[in-house]
A and B are shown apart, each in its own frame.
Chain A
Amino acid sequence: MSDLKVEGFKTSEILVALSEVFDSYSDEEKKAQIKKTNGIFEIRVKNAAGAEGVWTIDMKSTGKITKGVSTKPKPNVTIILSDETFTGLADGKLDGQKAFLTGKLKTKGNMMLATKLDGLLKVAKTKAKL
């Protein structure tokens, strides 16, 4: 249903969901989210089979998720991780900082921006209420 989808990557499913959330945003919500994040993430994911998929989350100008490398504008940070780590991050089982410290996640570029990915992934999730 979306060109983001890639077989064999759980990451792609999560990103599709995230993309839908962003698409459903009104202009104001989108602007607020862009202002809050203000960065372009390039996510390089390696799955169990050893294949690599690249997605770009633009939270600086367009507020969209695209497949493939974005050259223009250049990403502010590149995050390299495994498919499993990404799903863990999205589910909230893994802490981004912990993953970074244990070497499950590597970054290139603005490292501080990478910490914002956590919040971005949680946007798609509805919190259970007490």
Chain B
Amino acid sequence: MSLPMLISGADCGPVNPLQGLAKRFDQDRGLQQDYFGVGRAGPSRETFRTEQNARPEFLQEAAQFFENKATTSAPVAGSSSFNLAALRSSLPYSHSPAPALASGQPQMSHTPPPLAAWAADFAVQTPQHTVGASAQASSPVAIRQEQQQGPVQPNFTASMQQQWDDQFKAILPVVSESTPTTEAVAEASRPQDADDLARTAALLINTLRDREMVVEGNTMVPNTQASQSNASGWASDFTSSATVDVKGKGRVINPGVPIVPVEMGSTSALRHKLSSLQRPAEDATASSETAGVNAMDPNEAYFNQENKEYIDYWNHHHAGSVPAATQQDNMKTEWGALQSDWDAFEATASGIRSVQNYQFQQGNPYLTGGRSADVTRRHSLHFAEQQPFSESVLQLEAAVQRDPTDARAWFELGVKQQENERETKAIDALRRALELDPTHLPSWLALAISYTNEGDRVGTQGAVRSWVERNTQYEGAVAAYWASVQKAPADESFEELIGCLIAMARSEAAAGQLDADIQVALAVLLNTNEDYGKAQDCFRAALSVRPEDWQLYNRVGATMANSGRADEAISYYYRALELNPAYIRARFNLGISCINLRRYEEAAHHILDALILQDSDSTSTSDSAIRGVTCSALWDSLRTAALYMQRADLASLCDTQDLDGTCRVLRYSRVSILI
């Protein structure tokens, strides 16, 4: 097989990887090259300068030219939103101006009210163009097309260029002096601008000369070969266009500056429009300078007028909206303060849930005094010695509020909230504790338990996994286990996590000890899997190490109750309450078990006790129901018990969560349980 056959792919042979080679070489790169200066591409370019696509060099030069004047290109930032490149690439590419024009049209119709006037002007001006323009320029598009060809026209020899250049330079000063309007309009900026124009013209011509290959083969109308009268005519045209340029720049830049501070949405949108409008004017002038196309005038006049209207509008508008702007400034500072607060909170937070921050109770009396003030009248009355459980939620909240970065305080608060049957608050507090100190293992374990109670299996597993990963004491056993199952700890399943915990427990058992924490973690995992029998065994094992842990007693009881053995569970609850009479969770669980055993009267009393204890955490200023001090689950359970007791009056009190009323109905003393 010959090489041409290989690369052309013309014949129907077997598939050859080289077949696509020729197609690669032949590929049209025009679209890619079109991306030059894409940052400053305005919609107007798409509208008018369709032929430009084929000549990226000019775009580049023009871009370079405008880049030098930083002020001119100041509001370019937003122009990326007008980048139609994606749209264009998805549309079938065409060199004809019609589709480009069509794509430009909606852009115009989208313009806000002031621009609607602009659009109307455009519509009015269009016929005027055709009247005023030369014969071949029958429409703006045609004008543009001609103008596009302009830069190509100087396809002449070097000497001709030189000649043209000389003419250009010779005419320029004469013209600028002979037109008083130019001086009148912009005396200060003119010489500089004229200088600029000359320089640019020379630069562009030089580039053309250097890249003759590019423009080769084009037919053109040699402007330079025109007679002296023609040249003078051209020169006057040129001056007029130069004048326009001066005007255009002066006006466009000036309004641009005061507009900048106003940064509200619609305004910025308008500013984009403005900058995009500004650009065609510049582009147009640039091309008129380089090419000197006669048909330029109507367009320039049109843009000129357009600019003037726009400036008028903006000056007017800006003067009117100054108070509004200051108001916005005030609002911005206000929002800024909020934002900084928000950032300060988010800096330590991670994940979506962190948005729900822990809600403290208001008017906490412990907050005013120091730590020494924590021993209050009630506690000194009812508890002879200061036991850890006698610390109320309010005390712990105060401790946390005094030092919000103390992970240990957050942990203690979380555990306390767990004991007090406020699971969501406990989770919030524990999460905060772990954000502050991810290495604190008891926090992970407590969080796992909270997630289990909320029925969040994924959360439980995640917390236990974190606990395992951060447990430095058993690193060896964990690594050995993962080596044995030949899996990465990242993709462990539920069973493997249990296996890992068992391996940890075994390694510890070999040393002749029993780590209660491992047993608890294992039990929590088994609980989520509703494997209550095994979970219970694990909790019992942990209990054998820590016989004074009321939480463990409650956990054994709860596991039993959930597996349908409420009668056995009750003794464990009672033991837990012996150790800590203020253990609300155990009291509530006791009430649930009593309901399940159809001992409703007893259940109602236990649940009411729990409710009273919860309520004692509230401050007098805060409404307990609103602050979430009492748990609605408790009220629901009490209501169920009341319904079983056939006490509709009690049930209705539960619906309104009226604690005092309920106590009265049950002839119950609120103090009784605390003694």
Most buried by B among A92, A93, A126, A128: A128
Does A130 belong to the interface (CB within 8 Å)?
A: yes
B562 within 8 A of A: yes
Q: A1-B646, A129-B589 are in contact. Are A92 and B527 (CB under 8 A)?
A: no
Which residue of the partner chain A has the closest CB to B452? A130
Chain A 48-88, CB-CB to B under 8 Å as 1, else 0, gives 00000000000000000000000000000000000000001
**For the complex, is A29 an interface residue (Cβ under 8 Å from B)?**
no
A123 to chain B, nearest CB (A): 12
- B residues 420-437 near A (Cβ < 8 Å) are 421, 423
* Residue ID in chain A nearest B453 by CB atoms: A129
Candidate in B453, B562, B595 with the most chain A CB atoms within 10 angstroms: B562
A-contacting residues, B530-564, CB 8 Å: 554-555, 557-559, 561-564
CB distance from B222 to the nearest CB of A (A): 82
CB–CB B564/A92 < 8 A: yes
Contact A128 B593 (CB under 8 A): yes
Q: Which parts of A2-40 form the interface with B (CB within 8 Å)?
A: 13, 17, 20
Please give, as numbers and ranges, the residues of chain A lying within 8 Å of B452 by CB-CB distance.
130
Check A108 for interface membership: any CB of B closer than 8 A.
Answer: no
* CB nearest to A94 among chain B residues: B564
CB distance from B426 to the nearest CB of A (A): 10
Known contacts A20-B643, A91-B564, A93-B565; A129/B585 CB under 8 A = yes
Expressed in whole angstroms, the Cα–Cα distance for A127 and B528 within the complex equals 12
User: Contacts of A91 on B, CB cut-off 8 Å?
Assistant: 564, 566, 596
Q: Which label, helix, strand, loop or mixed, suits the secondary structure of the A interface? A: loop
Cα–Cα distance between A37 and B323 once the two chains are bound (Å): 61
Q: How far is the CA of A124 from the CA of B659 in the complex (A)?
A: 24
CB distance from A126 to the nearest CB of B (A): 5
Contacts A1-B646, A20-B643 known; A129 to B563 CB distance under 8 Å?
no
CB neighbours (8 Å) of A92 from chain B are 562-564
Q: Which residue of A lies closest to B558 (CB)?
A: A128
Complex Cα gap A93–B597 (Å): 13
Contact with A along B628-639 (1 / 0, CB 8 A): 000001001100
Shortest Cβ distance from residue B372 to the other chain A in the assembled complex, whole angstroms:
34
Q: Is the CB–CB distance between A130 and B524 below 8 Å?
A: yes
- B284 on interface, CB distance cutoff 8 Å: no
Count of chain A residues near B, Cβ 8 A: 15
CA distance A17 to B566 in the complex (A): 17
A126 vs B638: C-alpha distance when bound (angstroms): 11
Interface contact B637-A126, CB-CB below 8 Å = yes
Give Cα A91–Cα B561 distance, bound, in whole angstroms. 9
Cα(A129)–Cα(B585), bound, Å? 7
Residues of A within 8 A of B527 (CB): 130
Q: How far is the CA of A129 from the CA of B562 in the complex (A)?
A: 9
Tell me which of A17, A20, A93, A126 contacts B563 (CB under 8 A).
A93
Asked whether, in the complex, the Cβ of A130 is within 8 Å of the Cβ of B554, the reply is: yes
Q: Which residues of A contact B589 (CB under 8 A)?
A: 128-129
B358 part of interface (Cβ distance < 8 Å): no
Please tell me if B468 contacts chain A, counting CB pairs below 8 Å: no
B236-248: CB near A (< 8 Å → 1, else 0) gives 0000000000000
Give the residues in chain B near A13, CB-CB below 8 Å: 598
A93 to B563, CA, bound (A): 6
Task: Decide yes or no whether B494 CB sits under 8 A from chain A.
Answer: no
Nearest CB of A to B611, in Å: 14
Q: Does B588 contact A (CB under 8 A)?
A: yes
User: Which residues of A sit under 8 angstroms from B633, Cβ to Cβ?
Assistant: 126
Q: Is the CB of A128 within 8 A of B592?
A: yes
Of A1, A93, A130, which is within 8 A of B453 by CB?
A: A130
Q: Say yes or no: is B449 at the interface (Cβ < 8 Å to chain A).
A: yes
* B597 nearest CB neighbor, chain A only: A91
- Assembled-state Cα–Cα distance A129/B583 (Å): 12
Query: B632 CB to closest chain A CB, in angstroms?
Result: 12
Cα A93 to Cα B643 in complex, Å, equals: 24
- Chain B residues lying within 8 Å of A128, measured Cβ to Cβ, are 557-559, 561-562, 569, 589, 592-593
Contacts of B482 in A (CB 8 A): none
Q: Does B644 contact A (CB under 8 A)?
A: yes
Report the minimal beta-carbon distance from A28 to chain B, rounded to whole angstroms: 16
**Alpha-carbon gap, A13 to B644, bound state (A):** 10
Tell me the smallest distance from the CB of A6 to a CB of chain B, in Å.
17
B557 / chain A contacts, CB cutoff of 8 Å: 128
Residue of A with least CB distance to B573: A128
Which residues of chain B come closer than 8 Å to A88, judged between CB atoms? 564
A125 CA / B524 CA spacing, docked (Å): 20
**Are B636 and A126 interface neighbours, CB within 8 A?**
yes
Which residues of chain B have C-beta atoms less than 8 A from A127's C-beta?
453, 562, 592
Among A17, A94, A130, contact of B644 (Cβ-Cβ < 8 Å): A17
In the complex the two chains form, is B423's CB within 8 Å of A125's CB?
Answer: no
CB–CB A129/B559 < 8 A: no
Q: Which residues of A contact B644 (CB under 8 A)?
A: 17
A48–B351 alpha-carbon span in the complex (Å): 57
For residue A129, which residues in chain B have a CB less than 8 angstroms away from its CB? 421, 423, 453, 558, 585, 588-589
Whether A130 and B643, one on each chain, are in contact in the complex, defined by CB atoms closer than 8 angstroms, is: no
Q: Give every chain B residue within 8 A of A1 (Cβ-Cβ).
A: 646
Residues of A within 8 A of B585 (CB): 129
Q: How far is the CA of A97 from the CA of B336 in the complex (A)?
A: 60
- Report if A130-B565 is in contact (Cβ < 8 Å); known contacts: A1-B646, A91-B596: no
Cα A88 to Cα B588 with chains together (Å): 23
- Chain B residues with CB under 8 A of A20: 640, 643
A93 to B565: give the CA distance in the assembly, Å.
Answer: 7
The smallest beta-carbon distance between B100 and chain A, in angstroms, is 54
Find the A residue at minimum CB distance from B555.
Answer: A130
| B154 smallest CB distance to A (angstroms) | 77
Residues 581 to 602 of chain B near chain A (Cβ within 8 Å): 585, 588-589, 592-593, 595-596, 598
Residue on A with the closest CB to B595? A126
Assembly CA distance A93 to B589 (angstroms): 18
Docked CA distance A92–B562 (Å)? 7
The 9 sampled A-B contact pairs (Cβ below 8 Å) are A1-B646, A92-B562, A126-B640, A127-B592, A128-B557, A128-B561, A129-B558, A130-B524, A130-B554
Chain A residues packing against B (C-beta within 8 Å):
1, 13, 17, 20, 88, 91-94, 125-130
B residues adjacent to A (C-beta < 8 A): 421, 423, 449, 452-453, 524, 527, 554-555, 557-559, 561-566, 569, 585, 588-589, 592-593, 595-596, 598, 633, 636-637, 640, 643-644, 646
Knowing that A91-B596, A126-B633 touch, tell me 5 more A-B residue pairs with CB under 8 angstroms. A1-B646, A92-B564, A130-B449, A130-B453, A130-B558
10 closest A-B pairs by beta carbon, nearest first, are A93-B564, A128-B558, A92-B564, A128-B561, A91-B564, A128-B589, A129-B453, A130-B555, A126-B592, A130-B449
